[in-house]
Structure 1
Amino acid sequence: MSIQNNLTQVQSSFKNPNCRLVAVSKTKPIEDLIEAYEAGIRDFGENKVQELQWKQPEMPSDVRWHMIGHLQSNKVKYIVPFVYLIHGVDSLKLLKEINKQGKKLDRKISVLLQVHIAAEDTKFGFDSEEVLSLLQSEEFQELSHVTIKGLMGMATFTENEDQVRKEFRGLKALFDQINQLALPELKEFEEVSMGMSGDYLIAQEEGSTLVRIGSAIFGARN
Structure 2
Amino acid sequence: MSVQENLTHIKKELPKNVTLVAVSKTKPNEAILEAYEAGQRVFGENKIQEMTDKWEALPKDIEWHMIGHVQRNKVKYMAPFVSLIHGVDSLKLLKEINKQAKKNDRIISCLLQMHIAKESTKFGMDETEIKSLISSEEFKQMENVKVIGLMGMATFTENEAQIKEEFSTLASLFNLLKESNPTTEKIDLQVLSMGMSGDYKIAIKSGSNMVRIGSSIFGARNYS
- Which band: TM-score by shorter chain? over 0.9
TM-score normalised by L of structure 2 = 0.96
| Structure 1 runs not aligned, ≥5 long | none
Determine the C-alpha separation between the residues in 1 that align with 2:201 and 2:57: 32
Alignment partners' CA distance in 2, 1:57 and 1:2:
25
Q: What RMSD, in angstroms, separates the aligned Cα atoms of the two structures?
A: 1.0
Q: Which residue of 2 aligns with 1:117?
A: 116
1:33 aligns with 2:26: no
Structure 1 partner of 2:216: 216
Q: Residue 101 of structure 2 corresponds to which residue in structure 1?
A: 102
Report the secondary structure of 1:123's partner residue: coil
The one-letter code matched in structure 2 to 1:190 is Q
Distance across 2 between alignment mates of 1:54 and 1:127: 33
Aligned-partner residue type, residue 95 of structure 1: L
- Verify the 8 A CA contact 1:24 1:44 in the aligned structure 2: yes
Deviation, 1:138, is: 0.8
Identical counterparts, % of pairs: 61
Task: Tell me the residue number matched to 1:144.
Answer: 143
Q: Kindly provide the CA deviation profile for residues 50-99 of structure 1, in whole angstroms up to 9, marking residues without a partner as x.
A: 10011002111110000001010000000000000000000111000000
The alpha-carbon deviation at position 193 of structure 1 amounts to 0.4
Map 1:60-139 onto structure 2 (within 5 A).
60-139=59-138
CA distance in 1, matches of 2:102, 2:6: 40
Q: Secondary structure at the match of 2:10?
A: helix
State how many pairs are aligned. 221
Q: Residue 145 of structure 2 contacts residue 186 of structure 2 at CA under 8 Å; is this kept in 1? A: no
Residue 188 of structure 1 aligns to a residue whose secondary structure is strand
**Equivalent residues of 1:195, 1:212 under 8 A apart:** yes
Q: What are the superposed Cα offsets for residues 84-131 of structure 1, whole Å, 9 maximum, x if unpaired?
A: 000000011100000011111221111100000001101000001110
Aligned-partner residue type, residue 178 of structure 1: L
The answer as to whether partners of 1:80 and 1:98 remain within 8 angstroms in 2 is yes
Task: Give the structure 2 partner of residue 9 of structure 1.
Answer: 9
User: What SS does structure 1 have at the residue aligned with 2:189?
Assistant: coil
Contact 2:164 2:202 in 1 (8 A): yes
Q: Which amino acid in 2 is paired with 1:104?
A: K
Following superposition, the deviation at residue 185 of structure 1 comes to 4.9
**How many angstroms apart in 2 are the aligned matches of 1:218 and 1:17?**
22
Residue 124 of structure 1 aligns to a residue whose secondary structure is coil
The equivalences for 1:147-166 within 5 A come to 147-166=146-165
**What is the match of residue 44 of structure 1?**
43
SS of the residue corresponding to residue 190 of structure 1 reads strand
Indicate if the aligned counterparts of 2:44 and 2:64 stay in contact, CA closer than 8 A. Answer: yes
**CA 1:94–1:187 in 2, change beyond 3 Å: closer, same or farther?**
closer
Q: Which amino acid aligns with 1:208?
A: S
On the 8 A contact 2:193/2:211 being kept in 1, the answer is yes
Deviation at 1:182, TM superposition (A): 2.6
Partners of 2:100 and 2:186 lie apart in 1 by 20
Q: Is the 8 A contact 2:143 2:186 kept in 1?
A: no
Query: Cα deviations across residues 149-185 of structure 1 (Å, max 9, x unaligned)?
Result: 1000000000010110111111111011111113435
Q: Structure 1 runs of 4+ off > 6 angstroms?
A: none
